[in-house]
Structure 1
Amino acid sequence: MIIPGIVSVTFRDKTVEEILRVSAACGLQAIEWSENAHVFPGDAEGSVKLREKTEASGLQIAAYGSYFRLLEEETDQAFKQSLLSAKALGAPVIRIWAGNVASKEVSAADRMQLVERANRVVEMAAVEEIKVALEWHRNTLTDENESALRFLDEVDHPNLYCLWQPAIGLPMKERCAGLHELAVRKKLLNLHTYYWKEEERKPLSEGFPEWRQYLAQINRQEDRYALIEFVMDNSTEQLALDASALKQLIAELN
Structure 2
Amino acid sequence: MRINLCTISFRHELASFNELLDFAQRTGFSGIELWSVHAAAIARSMPLQGARAVRSMRRRGIEIAMISGYVQLLAGTDTAYAETEKEWNRLLSLARLFETDKIRIFAGNKSSKAALESDWTLGTRRLRQLAQTASEHGIRTVIETHPGTLADCLDSALRLIRDVQHPYLSINLDFLHLWEAGDPLPDAFRRLRPWTAHFHCKNIRSRGELSVFEPDNVYSPGGTREGMVPLAEGAVDYREILAHLNGDNGVPSLSLEWFGNDPFRYLSKEIAWIRSVCGDSRGKRAMP
TM-score range, shorter chain: 0.7 to 0.9
Q: Say if 2:197 is the partner of 1:196.
A: no
Alpha-carbon displacement from aligned partner over 1:98-132 (angstroms, at most 9, x marks no partner): 00111111110111011110011100111000111
Render the CA deviation track for 1:170-198: whole Å, top value 9, x for unaligned. 34x53332222111xx1011111222222
Post-superposition CA distance 1:129-185 (Å, at most 9, x none):
0111101111111111111110110001111010111216234x53332222111xx
**Rg larger for:** 2
Candidates 218, 234, 241, aligned match of 2:262: 234
CA 1:249–1:130: 2 relative to 1, 3 Å: farther
- The aligned counterpart of 1:251 is 279
The residue number in structure 2 matching 1:205 is: 232
Shift of 1:55: 2.2
Distance 1:54 1:74 in 2: 35
The gaps in structure 2 that reach 5 residues or longer are: 211-226, 281-287
Counterpart residue number, 1:31: 32
1:143 aligns with 2:152: yes
Between the aligned partners of 1:36 and 1:54, the Cα distance in structure 2 is 19
The one-letter code matched in structure 2 to 1:194 is: K
Amino acid at match of 2:127: A
Contact 2:39 / 2:94 at 8 angstroms: preserved in 1? Answer: no
Alignment of 1:60-209 (within 5 A): 60-72=63-75, 73-75=80-82, 76-165=85-174, 166-167=176-177, 169-171=180-182, 173-183=183-193, 186-198=194-206, 199=210, 200-207=227-234
CA, structure 1 residues 92+248, in 2 after alignment: closer, same or farther (shift >3 Å)?
A: farther
1:103 and 1:139 in contact (8 A); partners too: yes
| Partner in structure 1 of residue 4 of structure 2 | 5
**Identity in percent:** 20
Q: 1:60 offset after TM fit, Å?
A: 1.8
Q: Distance in 2 between matches of 1:160 and 1:151?
A: 9
CA contact (8 A) 2:199 2:255 kept: yes
Instruction: Report SS of the residue matched to 1:74.
Output: helix
Residues 116/45 of structure 1: CA separation in 2 closer, same or farther (3 Å cut): farther
Which ranges of structure 1 fall in alignment gaps of 5 or more residues?
Answer: none
Aligned length in residues: 249
Question: In structure 2, how many angstroms separate the alpha carbons of the residues matched to 1:187 and 1:69?
Answer: 23
1:8 alignment partner AA: T
Matched letter for residue 144 of structure 1: C
Judge which range, 216-225 or 240-249, deviates more.
216-225
Letter in 2 for 1:182: L
- C-alpha deviation, 1:207, in angstroms: 4.9
Equivalent AA in structure 1 for residue 10 of structure 2: F
How big is the shift at 1:48?
3.0
Determine if contact 1:8/1:38 at 8 Å carries over to the other structure.
no
What secondary structure does 1:239 align onto? helix
